[in-house]
Structure 1
Amino acid sequence: MDRRNFLRAAVLGAGVTAFGNTLTPSALAAPAQNGPSPYGPLQPADANGVQLPNGFTSRVVARSGQQVAGYTWHNAPDGGAVFADGSGWIYVSNSEVTPGGGASALKFDSSGNITGAYRILGGTRQNCAGGAMPWNKWLSCEEVDLGFVYETDPHGPASAAVQRPAMGRFKHEAAAADPVRKAIYLTEDVSDGCFYRFVPNTWGDLSSGSLQALKAGSATSGSFTWGTVGDPDGSPTATRNQVSGAKRFNGGEGLHYANDTAWFTTKGDNRVWQLNLANSTYELAYDDSLVSPGSAPLTGVDNVTGTVSGDLFVAEDGGNMEICIITPDDIVAPFLRITGQSGSEICGPAFTPAGNRLYFSSQRGTSGSSSGGITYEVTGPFRS
């Protein structure tokens, strides 16, 4: 569905959506199709091996195993987010290794200078993605069987991190907060995974609440409901097998929430799903098998973030190492490409509060090893 129309409808009136109360065939639009990027074509690779549109520049802000602001940056950087910090900001990044895992942070002043770096979580396993919470905490999620969610402070220290078992023990991927419905959405990275929401007993306190799985038919669009997971610890019965009628998703990955809508990716079928939460309907925002004309520009879908303009930025795990844009007009096109790193994946895209800087990592860099991770910053005239 055209996101510009959906977002406009969400703003125009309380309780009014682009669909009304039912999903009809005439309300649906085809998933995003090939088209020209609003930023123009990619230019030749810069000194960092990054192809960008005209007017954009890149810099390397950290490398795995190397010192940054007196701190050794972690291996295999993965999911990330940016938090406001006075006149500056903090970029947090997970470490997808076992043992060790955890997450670290880079602190920036108002001019973008790095003023600090430090650990905010340690001693965990395979920390892949996560999500920023409205109360300025980072949820770091373990992508292992019976994995936990950890609530961390972007300012540190690592000892301040808290395990949140009420949010379920499963192969976690990403998280996103919905302050309207006071829920946290969660993806699961297995081929028959579920899409979950956690409803805290008290908003802002993740120590207790209800874990629920999305229930829907087998189609790629329709309506959905929620069913309660009775035993969030996932043993002896996995959380995904506790709710009758739970919809299965093939390898849940990145997740982004804005304006009564949640978008999430599934790597097993290269899709981006759109949940219209105001009226409990879902549809495809992107499917690489339905793209025309030509071949699909976005493959290996993974982490996703968004901008105030309504653009989605989707990072590739593999593919041809691109971050692609999906516009509110349902156009998909490459925004950037990293060259010479075919053995890596792009992780952790996140914008500064001002929306003029984009951070992300190449998890394994040019070496193809977890010790070769590179974290980048891109600046330029992003759409507002």
Structure 2
Amino acid sequence: MGSRGRRDDRAGGGLGRRRFLAAGGALAVSACAGPTPGTGPYAGVAKAGESGGARPAPARGYGELRAVPDERDGEVRLHLPKGFGYRSFDPAGGRLTGGGVTPGRHDGMAAFRGPGGSVILVRNHEVNGPAGAFGDPAHAYDRAAGGGTVTLRVTRRGEVLGSWPSLTGTQMNCSGGPMPWGAWVSCEETVNGPDVGDDHTGGDNTRLTREHGYIFEVPLSGRASGRPIRAAGRFMHESAAFEPRQGAIYLTEDNYRFPSGFYRYLPPKNPMRAGRILDGGRLQMLAVRGAPGEDLSLGQKPGAAYETAWVDIDDPDPAFTGTPANDTASRAVSRQGLEKGAAIFSRLEGAVHHHGTVYFTSTQGGATAKGEDPPSGGFGRGRGQVWAYDTWNGMLRLVYESPGAMALDLPDNITTSPRGTLVLCEDGADANYVRGLTRRGEIFDFARLVPVPGDPDAEFAGATFAPGGQTLFVNVQSDRGLTFAIWGPWEQGEF
């Protein structure tokens, strides 16, 4: 998440399914190493044509997008289909009713059922550097760090009923995931701390007082404890998706310059019984069975599917001495998995669990885009992939691979609609869209962001439907960030 702001510096379960037996330790070579045919929703939909960047035939979405004024002040901030309206709220710099000021860089978010028909939103803020904690510094994990989460109680039309800092003193809180017992997991996309060198942003890590790069659990009321779950790893976390049967938290890694991994954290007790995520569990990294080090960041054949295994990460929370370079520290966890044969991905970002399947995005995965697509820096040469991991049988399937930026441009946050359509937030180089990916494998445009004055790198983030599905909430990640509530004739299209 937020890669474009750094670019200048860088130039479904069911009966009869067999239980998959995960393999711990070093990956054993076995048969079935190559891709096998996929099954289920999205099966076989790997590329929307071979058009080299041209837009494929339009899918059945909601029709043409048009400029729509914001109900808050009449300014046009979004282009939406006919019949849809929206209201923006809680912009950066506004006052929180619980004290303090709303930070910028609104990012990952989830919606929960609130009292009296209201909605509880827990929202990340991807603030980096030693900016100083917002809210009450006495509650901060690190008083020098400016990221964290804000919790809001709102109406389904985006009217704020209450807002407060719920996690402060963290850094680069990118995405995360909702937990069914009533919590949000917030993920730090950094390994900054006083024990490692400065990152690409030029901040002064010596001003930080704590190590960063962890996940934190945030309750729906009050404040988070501020205790990181260290056994879930210190790496460049992006998203978290919970699978209740195993009690596993699936985690994505967004390491811009280097290979990224797909992980799962197995707590010592199922959080559904414990009521929270306990520290002290086991961290693992996904591998392709029989193909150690398989590079899945490369272009894939339509319908690609792989049998998988898991390798243990022996030291998920490494202690650094001698202040290593930030790039070195950022690979300390993933390198352990790669040395055991874990699979290689490019920039894993959004993740969501839906009926036994974890869908996740690889922002720069896939074949080198053709045509007039702008080049992307970092690791990965494609315009994006969407993957599906079946938690029941351990199969990994490619859902979609972008043929070019006109179809799908650098997918980031992901969620599902009430009908099971995937909702994708883009992190593209030019116009940014919220796009839908249907179960037939068709891409359609739902919303286009009007450029934010003074911030050409602004992007969509944190799409989440309110309980009941009548409202889609989505953020603008920017120093001038804000949140939208969008409503309209959902029954007329795919969401």
- Shorter-chain TM-score bucket reads 0.7 to 0.9
Q: Which moved more, 1:212-221 or 1:242-251?
A: 212-221
Partner of 1:227: 311
Where do 1:135-284 residues align within 5 Å? 135-145=181-191, 147-158=213-224, 160-190=225-255, 191-204=258-271, 205-216=277-288, 217=291, 218=294, 220=300, 221-235=305-319, 238-243=332-337, 244-269=340-365, 270-284=384-398
Structure 1 residue 109: Cα displacement? 4.5
Segment drifting more, 236-245 vs 188-197: 236-245
Structure 1 residues 58 and 203: alpha-carbon distance in aligned structure 2, compared to 1, 3 A threshold: same
Q: Does residue 48 of the first structure (1) align with residue 76 of the second (2)? A: yes
Residue deviations 1:329-367 (CA, integer Å, cap 9, x gap): 111111100112342111111111111111111111xxx
* 2:190 is the alignment partner of 1:125: no
**Aligned-partner SS, 1:256:** strand
Supply the AA of the counterpart residue of 2:416: G
Distance 2:38 2:467 in 1: 37
Partners in 2 of 1:24 and 1:302 — Cα distance? 26
CA deviation string 1:218-260 (max 9, x = no partner): 2543111111111110346711121311001111111011111
Indicate conservation of the 8 Å contact 2:451/2:458, yes or no: no
Which structure's relative contact order is higher, taking Cα pairs within 8 Å and 6+ residues apart? 2
Q: Post-superposition shift, 1:25? A: 3.2
2:45 aligned with 1:30, yes or no?
A: yes
Is the 1:106–1:118 Cα contact (8 Å) retained in structure 2? yes
AA in 1 matched with 2:106 = P
Match of 1:122, SS state, is strand
Report deviation, 1:116: 0.1
Tell me the distance in 2 between the aligned counterparts of 1:262 and 1:124: 26
Inter-partner Cα distance in structure 2 for 1:111 and 1:50: 16
Q: Quick one: which amino acid aligns to residue 358 of structure 1? A: L
Q: Deviations over 1:184-231 (max 9, x none)?
A: 000011130110001111111322211110011425431111111111
Q: Establish whether residue 57 from structure 1 lines up as the match of residue 88 from structure 2.
A: no
> Does structure 1 retain, via aligned residues, the 8 Å contact 2:363–2:385?
yes
User: In terms of mean alpha carbon deviation, does 339-348 or 93-102 score higher?
Assistant: 339-348
Root-mean-square deviation (Å): 2.3
Does the 8 Å CA contact 1:346/1:362 hold for their aligned counterparts? yes
Q: Which AA in structure 2 matches 1:203?
A: N
Q: Residue 96 of structure 2 contacts residue 164 of structure 2 at CA under 8 Å; is this kept in 1?
A: no
Deviations 1:141-182 (CA, angstroms, capped at 9, x unpaired): 111125011111122225x34321111111111001001221
For the Cα contact (< 8 Å) 2:38–2:397, is it kept in 1? no
Give 1:3's aligned residue. Answer: none
Letter in structure 2 aligned against 1:53: P
- Structure 2 CA distance, aligned partners of 1:287 and 1:316? 14
How many Å apart are 1:277 and its aligned residue? 2.1
| Aligned sequence identity (%) | 31
Whole-angstrom distance in 1 between the partners of 2:17 and 2:94: 51
**How big is the shift at 1:380?**
1.6
Question: Are residue 308 (structure 1) and residue 418 (structure 2) matched?
Answer: yes
Q: CA 1:184–1:44 in structure 2 vs 1: closer, same or farther (change >3 Å)?
A: same
Which whole-Å CA distance do the structure 2 matches of 1:196 and 1:252 have between them? Answer: 10
| Contact 1:359/1:377 (8 A) holds in 2 | yes
CA contact (8 A) 1:57 1:378 kept: yes
CA distance in 1, matches of 2:353, 2:37: 25
Q: Give the C-alpha shift of residue 74 in structure 1.
A: 1.5
C-alpha change, 1:26 and 1:70, in structure 2 (3 Å) is: closer
**TM-score, scaled relative to structure 2:** 0.68
The whole-number CA distance in structure 2 between the counterparts of 1:110 and 1:272 is 29
Shift in CA distance, 32/52, structure 1 to aligned 2, threshold 3 Å:
farther
Q: Kindly indicate whether the alpha-carbon contact (under 8 Å) linking 1:318 and 1:344 is maintained by their aligned counterparts in 2.
A: no
Asked whether the equivalents of residues 88 and 109 of structure 1 are also in contact (C-alpha less than 8 Å), the reply is yes
Deviations 1:246-276 (A, max 9, x none): 0011111110111111111112221111112
Name the residue aligned to 1:382: 490
| 2:78–2:449 contact (8 Å) kept in structure 1 | yes
Q: Is the 8 A contact 2:156 2:466 kept in 1?
A: no
Work out the CA distance in 1 between the residues paired with 2:461 and 2:38.
36
Equivalent residue for 2:428? 318
Please say if residues 297 and 324 of structure 1, whose CA atoms lie closer than 8 Å, have aligned partners that are also in contact: no
Partner deviation per Cα, 1:94-114 (whole Å, 9 max, x = no partner)? 111123101101102477542
Could you tell which deviates more after superposition, 124-133 or 32-41?
32-41
Q: 1:286 is matched with which residue: 388, 400, 410? A: 400
Say which one has the larger Rg. Answer: 2
**SS of corresponding position for 1:166:** helix
The letter for the 2-side match of 1:60 is: S
Question: 54-63 or 374-383: which moved more?
Answer: 374-383
Which is worse superposed, 265-274 or 347-356? 265-274
Aligned counterparts of 1:308 and 1:115: Cα–Cα separation in 2:
25
Cα shift readout 1:78-134 (whole Å, capped 9, x = no counterpart):
111111123322111111112310110110247754210100000111111111111
What amino acid sits opposite 1:330 in the alignment?
G
Asked if the contact 1:37–1:334 (Cα under 8 Å) also holds between the matched residues in 2, the reply is no
Quick one: which amino acid aligns to residue 82 of structure 2?
Answer: N
- Pick aligned residue for 1:88 from 118, 121, 139: 118
